């Protein structure tokens, strides 16, 4: 648990820490909250408990009413996200909390023992109210055991366990019966039944009035929890990104003399950030556009331009569809064309992919000096086989236009099977 010296300057929230507690964690929690030594708090609490039932009751009240948890964690979680550090550090698994049911049983036994001791010592104990009180306590314990953190989470997430519900109902019934017995001591049975029915009717009416509030509260809580889960997922992503940026910066600082390497690192990092910040991330194997970006990333990272420096590929994608054997061949051909453009052409290199209704078109363009297309020797496997052949075998077309002043543009077109149609802009 957080020591007071390490705690933030303002007061920490009141929580019962799950580690370092002696009985219920009340002393430790109070110590953190009030910023005083644990030993002093414990001494005061022990004195109070020994001095009379009031101290004991106070302790039990705190035990039940203070939620368990780590005060420092809670303070951190409630701080505004913009002020928090993004990295969350390593999560250490904590021991599970003491179950409240055991505590309730212990309290009941303790109460019985106190009563027995008192009656033995000659105090006149009216036993007729002992049983109802015991029944009420048992019911309260049973119902409050539902307040256990884990159970509450399960209730809110909708997975209401039948066991939990039974315990709750049984607890409420026990409390009702106990209260009736306590209040209706000495009354005739008929009157008890009548008043019991009246009480249930009143409770029913109140329940009907409160039900909408309760339902709305539940829904709101659930919504907030989901929002918080999403928020924390986002924070995780942000932390991951910042981590990768840090590593890139470290690499850049180490190799700052090598301009090409720096440019390449910067470009790779820029691409990654862009992908995370500005585009949705489709599930792998569902998007040709995403596959194309992966191809571009590989070419940008792995290939140097004619002069040695890394070349950025200006990519524009219109439409999208699910990958197929044809699009895989198209992307392989695109990759070869890009490699050629980066290695032999001149930047900027432009890449345009359009998924139309009948066809998928790819244009790869560079601003190099161009070359004579007809003069490609038949044994130059690069262009002829890996680019043109691949596409033509899939029933597509491939054309290369090249001129000294306009650079080179490779146009690849394959038929688009309707079966893989995934809708434009999907």
Partner 1 sequence: MTEPATPRTPRTPDDAAVPDLPVDVVLVDDHLMFRAGVRASLDERVRVVAEAATVDEAVEVIGAHVPRVVLLDVHLPGGAGGGGAEVLTRLAHLRGSTTFLALSVSDAAQDVVAVIRAGARGYVTKAISGPDLSDAVVRVAGGDAVFSPRLAGFVLDAFGTAPADLAVHDDELDRLSAREQEVMRLIARGFSYREVASELFISIKTVETHVSAVLRKLQLSSRHELTRWAAARRLL
User: For partner 1, which is the closer residue by CB, 316 or 325?
Assistant: 316
3-state secondary structure the chain: CCCHHHCCCCCCCCCECCCCCCCCCHHHHHHHHHCCCHHHHHHHHHHHHHHCHHHHHHHHHHHHHCCECCHHHHHHHHCCHHHCCCCCCCCCCCCCCCCHHHHHHHHHHHHHHHHHHHHHCCCCCCHHHHHHHHHHHHHHHHHHHHHCHHHHHHHHCCCCCHHHHHHHHHHHHHHHHHHHHHHCCCCCHHHHHHHHHHHHHHHHHHHHHHHHHHHHHHHHHHHHHHHHHHHHHHHHHHHHHHHHHHHHHHHHHHCCCCHHHHHHHHHHHHHHHHHHHHCCCCCCCCCHHHHHHHHHHHHHHHCECCCCCECCEEEEEECCCCCCHHHHHHHHHHHHHHHHHHHHCCCCEEEEEEECCCEEEEEEEECCCCCCHHHCCCCCHHHHHHHHHHHHHCCCEEEEEEECCCEEEEEEEEECCHHHCCCCCC
| Identity of the residue, 312 or 329, whose beta carbon is nearer to partner 1 in the bound complex | 312
**Number of CB atoms found within 10 A of residue 296's CB:** 22
Q: Which is closer to partner 1, CB of 30 or CB of 292?
A: 292
Nearest residue (CB) to partner 1, 213 versus 278: 278
Q: Which is nearer to partner 1, 19 or 279 (CB)?
A: 279
| Residue (7 or 294) nearer to partner 1, CB | 294
Q: Which is nearer to partner 1, 107 or 360 (CB)?
A: 360
Structure tokens at 186: 């000495």
CB of 278 to partner 1, least distance (A): 4
Q: List contacts with partner 1 (CB under 8 A).
A: 274, 277-279, 312, 314, 316-319, 348, 350, 352, 354, 356-357, 363, 365, 406, 409, 424-426
Nearer of residues 175 and 400 to partner 1, judged by Cβ:
400
Nearest distance, CB of residue 282 and partner 1, angstroms: 13
Shortest Å, Cβ 358 to partner 1: 9
Give the nearest distance from C-beta 356 to partner 1 in angstroms: 5
| Total residues found in the chain within this entry | 426
State the minimum distance, in angstroms, from the CB of residue 425 to partner 1. 5
Nearer of residues 100 and 312 to partner 1, judged by Cβ: 312
Query: Considering the complex, what minimum distance in angstroms separates the CB of residue 205 from partner 1?
Result: 45
Q: Which residues contact 29 (CB under 8 A, 6 or more apart)?
A: 14, 15, 16, 17, 66, 71
Nearest distance in Å: CB 165, partner 1: 39
Sign of CA dihedral 16, 21, 23, 28: negative
Smaller CB separation from partner 1, 12 or 312: 312
Q: How far is the CB of 373 from partner 1 (least distance, A)?
A: 18
Q: How far is the CB of 66 from partner 1 (least distance, A)?
A: 38
Write down the least CB distance from residue 417 to partner 1, Å. Answer: 16
């Amino acid at each position: 648990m957080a020591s007071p010296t390490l705690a933030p300057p303002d007061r920490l929230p009141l929580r019962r820490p799950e580690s370092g507690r002696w009985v219920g964690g009340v002393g430790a929690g109070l110590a953190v909250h009030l910023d005083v030594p644990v030993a002093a708090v414990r001494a005061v609490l022990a004195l109070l408990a020994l001095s009379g039932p009031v101290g004991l009751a106070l302790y039990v009240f705190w035990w039940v009413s203070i939620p368990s948890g780590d005060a420092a964690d809670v303070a951190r979680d409630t701080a505004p996200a913009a002020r928090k550090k993004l990295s969350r550090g390593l999560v250490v698994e904590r021991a599970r909390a003491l179950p409240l049911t055991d505590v309730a049983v212990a309290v009941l036994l303790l109460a019985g023992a106190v009563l027995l001791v008192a009656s033995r010592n000659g105090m006149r104990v009216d036993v007729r109210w002992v049983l109802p009180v015991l029944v009420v306590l048992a019911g309260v314990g049973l119902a409050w055991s539902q307040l256990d953190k884990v159970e509450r989470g399960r209730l809110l997430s909708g997975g209401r366990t039948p066991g939990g519900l039974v315990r709750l109902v049984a607890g409420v019934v026990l409390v009702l019966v106990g209260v009736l017995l306590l209040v209706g001591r000495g009354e005739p049975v008929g009157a008890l039944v009548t008043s019991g029915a009246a009480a249930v009717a009143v409770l029913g009416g109140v329940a009907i009035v409160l039900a909408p509030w309760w339902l709305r509260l539940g829904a709101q809580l659930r919504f907030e929890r989901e929002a918080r889960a999403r928020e924390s997922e986002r924070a995780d992503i942000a932390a991951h990104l910042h981590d990768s940026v840090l590593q890139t910066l470290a690499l850049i600082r180490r190799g700052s003399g090598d301009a090409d390497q720096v440019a390449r690192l910067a470009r790779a990092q820029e691409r990654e950030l862009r992908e995370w910040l500005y585009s949705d991330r489709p599930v792998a194997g569902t998007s040709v556009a995403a596959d194309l970006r992966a191809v571009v990333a590989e070419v940008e990272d792995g290939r140097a331009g004619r002069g040695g420096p890394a070349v950025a590929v200006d990519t524009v994608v219109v439409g999208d569809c699910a990958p197929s054997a044809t699009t895989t061949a198209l992307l392989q051909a695109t990759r070869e064309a890009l490699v050629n453009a980066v290695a032999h052409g001149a930047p900027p290199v432009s890449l345009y992919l359009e998924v139309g209704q009948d066809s998928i078109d790819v244009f790869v363009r560079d601003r190099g000096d161009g070359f004579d297309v007809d003069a490609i020797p038949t044994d130059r496997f690069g262009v002829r086989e890996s680019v043109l052949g691949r596409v033509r075998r899939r029933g597509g077309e491939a054309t290369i236009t090249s001129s000294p002043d306009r650079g080179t543009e490779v146009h690849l077109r394959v038929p688009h099977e309707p079966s893989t149609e995934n809708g434009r802009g999907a």
